[in-house]
Amino acid sequence: MPEAEKQYGLTLMGRSTLTVTGVTEVDSFNEEMVALSTQDGPLTVLGSGLKIGQLSLDNGKMWVQGKIDALSYADRREKGALLRRILR
């Protein structure tokens, strides 16, 4: 993987389109939540009508469309802890 594609980043356009680079894994998703692992730790996207448009784990890039209400990071040591709290 070229070094430029290994960098982690987020771009949010108008609360409706989120582009993420540095994605290593998508843990789960539905219309209200996308839980993914990034090079900077676990990230959860909350909203409504969420859809994953492009996903390429080869280059670590994805985008999510829908109404994005929140972006939340979990501590690397607590992988899955945020997801467990959300699903209680």
Question: For the domain that residue 56 is a member of, what is the CATH number?
Answer: 2.60.40.2000
pTM equals 0.77
pLDDT in tens, 54-68: 888 889 999 999 999
Q: What is the pLDDT of residues 12-69, one digit of tens each?
A: 999 999 999 999 999 999 999 999 999 989 999 999 999 998 888 889 999 999 999 9
| CB contact at 8 A, 35 and 83 | yes
Give how many domains the chain has, as a whole number.
1
Structural domain including 70 reads 3-76
Q: Please identify which residue in the block is written with the tokens 């469309």.
A: 65
Contact in structure between 42 and 24 (CB atoms under 8 Å): no
For residue 13, the Cα-to-chain-centroid distance in whole angstroms is 15
Q: Is residue 37 part of a domain?
A: yes
